[in-house]
Amino acid sequence: MRFTNREEAGMLLAKRLRPFRDTDAVVLALPRGGVVVGGAVARALHLPLNVVLVCKLAHPTDPECSAGAVCERGVVVYDAAAVGPMPADWRHKEERRARHILRDRRATYDADNLPQDIRGRTVLLVDDGMATGLCMDAAVLWAREQGAGRIVVAVPVASFESVQRLAPSVDQLVVLNNPADFLLAVGAHYRYFPQIVDEEVKTILQEAYYGL
């Protein structure tokens, strides 16, 4: 199963999430591509949209490979198998780099002006896909720390590894496509998978907030 683009994937995902339509749930999307999917979900379900600011920690020997993820307010997740006996100074340097990116994105998205109180609410954590699941793992931990009442992870496509990682820690896991032969990169499961820039994310968030 390949999705045409993120917008289509979001609309298909919304059909599986229909029980949450017009409830007190909130859609929290992972930038950047996840915001396109999350925007489609939020529109279809008449729910508010916001972001979870999370950033991949790149492996020192292969920047394309994820060794972990960092979220706001101190949440850090590592893949022990991927990191191995890496020096502490590398970890500190990479975490600082990631937190700098998160600060820049918060400012660019004007996220401080978006409502973010999720205490006691159902949270739909949405991304465009999960390969390792590390970024979503960090987002789940963050949502728990913020007092979410129920956490639902919803993605169009996910690897077996990521499902195994996330399933025990969430209340519900919704995956449209969980192929046994996951194609390594999330984008391989889409026909059209362009790079999303921060200004696009900001536009989607503003349109959702102001009902444009």
24, 112, 120 from 145: Cα distances, Å: 19, 18, 11
CA distance linking residue 140 with residue 123, whole number of Å: 10
Q: Is the pTM of this model over 0.95?
A: no
The pLDDT of residue 3 is 97
Nearest C-alpha neighbor of 101 from the set 27, 201, 10, 28:
201
CATH topology of domain 6-53+111-210: Rossmann fold (3.40.50)
CA distance linking residue 129 with residue 180, whole number of Å: 15
Average pLDDT, the chain: 90
CA distance linking residue 51 with residue 101, whole number of Å: 14
Question: Euclidean distance between the first and final Cα of the chain, in Å?
Answer: 32
Nearest C-alpha neighbor of 41 from the set 32, 54, 28:
28
What percent of the chain has a predicted confidence (pLDDT) above 90? 71
CA distance linking residue 184 with residue 137, whole number of Å: 18
The pLDDT of residue 153 is 98
Output the DSSP codes for 2-24: -BS-HHHHHHHHHHHTGGGTTSS
According to the CATH classification, is domain 56-107 in 3.30.1310? yes
pLDDT tens digit sequence for 104-117? 999 999 877 777 78
Contacts of 105 (CB under 8 A, 6+ apart): 31, 53, 111, 198, 201
Residue extents of the structural domains in the chain: 6-53+111-210, 56-107
Nearest C-alpha neighbor of 35 from the set 183, 211, 212, 197:
197
Q: What are phi and psi for residue 76, nearest 5 degrees?
A: -135, 135
The pLDDT of residue 91 is 82
pLDDT tens digit sequence for 119-165? 999 999 999 999 989 999 999 999 999 999 999 999 999 999 999 98
The pLDDT of residue 211 is 67
The pLDDT of residue 31 is 94
The residue among 11 and 90 whose pLDDT is bigger is: 11
Q: What is the mean pLDDT of residues 51-59?
A: 89
